[in-house]
Structure 1
Amino acid sequence: MSDLDIPHQLAPILDALTPEQRAAALALGRVLVLAGAGTGKTKTLTAGVATRVALYGMVPARILCVTFTNKAAAEMRNRIVQACGDGMAPSWLGTFHALCARQLRAEPDVAHLRPGFDIRDADDTLTMVRRLIKAVPKEQLPVPVEGAAGDAKQIAKMAERIARLKEDLVTPEAAPAHVQGMIARAHEKNAFIDREGWLFAAGLYRQYQALLREQNAADFGDLLMWPTLALVHDTIYRDRWSRRFTAVLADEYQDVNRAQFLWLKMMSEASGELFAVGDDNQSIYSWRGAKVKFIRGFAQEFPGAKMYRLEQNFRSTGHILDASNAVISHDPARIPKTLFTRKGVGMRIETLGFAYGSEEAEAIAREI
């Protein structure tokens, strides 16, 4: 596409991009932007939204743009408004939970809820789990949970397990069989699993969800689980929602869990437009359900998808990038890319060792 075809209001945002960033922002269809650390991923994602509005004529209200934090959503909204003008930012721009809450508000029955339902936060969840555990006779509690009525750590563990089941799209009714399968797989691998604790969590989940429904309330896990299950299993619901959007864009794609991946896939089904930005080398949230396989398997999941690599780092010096490239090279499953910089080699890296965290903190403070 020649510069003559670029609308004047879009030119400044595209002119500020590198050739690789620009090519990615202009691409349509299933697009994966592999953006290394410090390579301008937010700028590229913002340009991708602005391009769809100002160049391809997509209506902002029909663009779905997902971020992981409210701060990132606000920053992106401001940049799009600066580039395209007031009213040009997607109205469906926000975090997974915010957008799914909006979707669930529109059709609460998919979660067995009534209009005007309440949303329970993490503290509310802990309070409810504590209340349910306290009602269980002590002799029926598994050994690790015996003191849970007054043990905040055990209460948090049970709440976390319920949340993990929801992230895996496991309903209360399916939880016992799902947990039995987890236990069987662990035994096959001779791996440790808290059998009694997980079985207890599965039963607790059913009671917890019943309490939520009685209160006409949803927790954070419900906001994503129920719309996603409806998208997967109800073709009419999926068609209705996916046809609302002409494009779906997602930030930090390396951090999506199974529910988030399926939600993005289903919501982009009608349009065939999924613009995902992320870096498999920055996937650090597996402990909370993120699965790096979704970004690494993007091309297999979406045959014909385009991939753009952003490798020019604008933040670090040469020594830092050489070290990070060397460390990352030991991961044989990574998507190949090599970061480079034009900032010079910089200071050499200094490695320090400490016996205790307090010593490390003191040394950092002295250095600063």
Structure 2
Amino acid sequence: VDAGHGTAPPHFKLTLLGMRHFPLPRPRISLLLILLLVAVAHGALLSRRIQLRLGQGHPPAHWRHSSARNVFASAVPNDMQTEAIKSEDCAVLVLASAGTGKTRVLRTRMAYLLLKRQVPSERILAVTFSQHAAQQLQARVGAVAGSAVEGAWLGTFHSLCGRMLREHHELLSLPPDFSVVSESKQLEILREVLVAHRSTLQRRRGVQPLITGKLVAETMSVILRWKERGLTAEQLSAEGSRSTSHAEEFARAVYGAYQRTLFRRGFLDFSDMALGATQLLREHPQVLAKYRAQFDHVLVDELQDTSAVQYEWLKLICRPHSDSCGACIDDSIDAAATFAASPSTRFAAPRAPLWSAAARAHGACVFCAADDDQSIYGWRGADRANVLRFLSDFANARVIRMSKSYRCSPHVLGVAQAVLSPAPSLFAKLSYSTKREADSPRVLLNAFWDSAQEAEWLARQMLLP
């Protein structure tokens, strides 16, 4: 409560729980104190609830030790979600359209393993696409499982691969305190390398190249794409392929020098995380054996957004080097294509339950959530075909389709399916909404001259009462 600046008699402006300021006649001081105390108490209670919701602090003991089926009591899982959460198969692929709850299933699955199956947290590896998703997974599962989640390897591909590299830095001749270089520093280093190799580039092109910001950025983009495909400078030099653009030719000429400059200065870039960790596992069998023995369960969110090198890292950890997993033996390219063509097809081959010794003898059990129609990071190396590769590499994987959307209205789903229908989807899908069509707003189609006009229109819509 603070004094206003109106005319006499004095007024007060009262703000409670985000309400607008409004004038009040001067009340008794005792009444103001009571209102303040109520507001503080309410705010403290609200803050506590928010903390528990986000997984901060320690929830009550009866929350931490409740049954796994009550993990997130805000909504009871439907039949397909429950089937995924409690699946006993060695390899599971959850194919889920937008709003069907695949991320919720993933975190409930993790809580189920911790609380119901009593899997030690250090035996679980959970991989997400973004840092925000990793924080949400840690918070939501931690709010239920409490200290049971501590010790799990949980993070993004970059953070988990970086952790492996720090644990075994000496095997790749990396400094123990290496840093991840920023994007601006990357471009600065690459520009230096291009300038230093200008004579080499001149011999390749016949003229001295002009090192512009655009050329540096395009060359960096080519190098990062190669890294996401798992290609090192040595492999590209051995291939000797003909370059299709100036940027690709320059990238081929300076890729090795760029890497050596990074290492010399104690840097790695983000793409080096997965590339280096994959190299570590391939070249050092004892390290690969260590991680295969360490993890019983691997959980992966947004499989469609993984790059080739990230998927290879995942496969190395989950599968024996001989690729002789008893639950995964099959010539499955044709089987995967058959399944993709029909939403109702299920593999009929027998599967080894994940709790059986036979299944665990072949490596970690893997549980992936994906939607190939939501793959939007191809520009930075993501390959949605990894979803099909999963069915090829884990031939007898259990595929669970979730089609009931809780987030999207019937109108949104209808438009999305119409837009996607001519697109080359990897899997046939048919989603439906739980919302009433009559209660849902129609989809509005607008055209804008540029992004500024679009942003202005969006801002106006958000400011509407």
Name the TM tier (shorter chain). 0.7 to 0.9
1:201 aligns to 2:251 (yes or no): yes
Q: How does 1:190-339 map to 2 (within 5 A)?
A: 193-194=244-245, 196-269=246-319, 270-339=362-431
Q: TM-score by structure 2 length?
A: 0.70
Q: Give TM-score scaled by structure 1 length.
A: 0.87
Select between 236-245 and 329-338 the one with higher mean Cα deviation: 329-338
Query: Which residue number in structure 1 is paired with residue 445 of structure 2?
Result: 351
Matched residues in 2 for 1:122 and 1:43: separation? Answer: 32
Matched residues, number: 349
**Matching of residue 341 in structure 1 with residue 341 in structure 2:** no
Q: 1:20: which partner in 2?
A: 80
- Output the CA distance in 2 between the equivalents of 1:266 and 1:349: 44
Q: CA separation in 2, counterparts of 1:116 and 1:207? A: 21
CA distance in 2, matches of 1:100, 1:265: 13
Q: Secondary structure at the match of 1:160?
A: helix
SS of aligned partner of 1:248: strand
CA, structure 1 residues 145+221, in 2 after alignment: closer, same or farther (shift >3 Å)? farther
Contact map agreement 1:110 1:226 (CA 8 A) in 2: no
Letter in 2 for 1:218: L
Contact 1:9 1:84 in 2 (8 A): no
Contact 2:215 2:247 in 1 (8 A): no
Q: CA 1:74/1:330 → structure 2, altered by over 3 Å: closer, same or farther?
A: same
Q: Given that residues 54 and 84 in structure 1 are in contact (C-alpha distance below 8 angstroms), is that contact kept between their aligned partners in structure 2?
A: yes
Question: Deviation per CA, 1:36-56, whole angstroms, max 9, x where unpaired?
Answer: 111112211101111111122
Gap change, CA 1:36 and 1:104, over 3 Å in 2: same
The alignment partner of 1:32 has SS state of strand
Partner of 2:222: 161
Q: Which structure has the bigger radius of gyration?
A: 2
Greater Cα offset, 317-326 or 342-351: 342-351
**Deviation of the 1:21 alpha carbon:** 1.0
Deviation at 1:100, TM superposition (A): 0.6
Q: Within 5 Å, which residues of 2 pair with 1:104-143?
A: 104-137=165-198, 140-141=201-202, 142=205
Counterpart residue identity of residue 139, structure 2: N
- Percent of paired sites with the same residue: 30
Partner in structure 2 of residue 186 of structure 1: none
Per-residue CA distance 1:88-124 (angstroms, 9 max, x = gap): 2453101111111110011113433133333322222
* Contact 2:162–2:277 (Cα < 8 Å) also in 1: no
> Which residue identity lines up with residue 129 of structure 2 in the other structure?
F
Q: Which amino acid aligns with 2:87?
A: A
- Counterpart AA for 1:207: A
Residue 181 (structure 1) aligns with: 241
Counterpart contact for 1:144–1:197, Cα < 8 Å = no
1:197 offset after TM fit, Å?
A: 2.9
Q: Which moved more, 1:100-109 or 1:230-239?
A: 230-239
Letter in 2 for 1:227: A
Q: Distance in 1 between matches of 2:263 and 2:287?
A: 22
> Structure 1 85/360 Cα, relative in aligned 2: closer, same or farther at 3 Å?
closer
Deviation string, structure 1 residues 51-95 (Cα, Å, up to 9, x no partner): 111122211112110111111111111111122122424531011
Aligned letter for 2:309? A
Letter in 2 for 1:201: A
- Could you list the runs of 5+ residues in structure 1 that have no partner in the other structure? 1-6, 184-192
In structure 1, the residue matched to 2:58 is none
Q: CA contact under 8 A between 1:167 and 1:257: conserved in structure 2? A: yes
Between stretches 353-362 and 125-134, larger displacement belongs to 353-362
Cα distance change on mapping 1:267 and 1:139 into 2, 3 Å? closer
Structure 2 vs 1, CA of residues 95 and 143 (structure 1 numbering), >3 Å: closer, same or farther? farther
Q: Which has the higher contact order (CA 8 A, sep 6+)?
A: 1
**Paired residue secondary structure (1:34):** strand
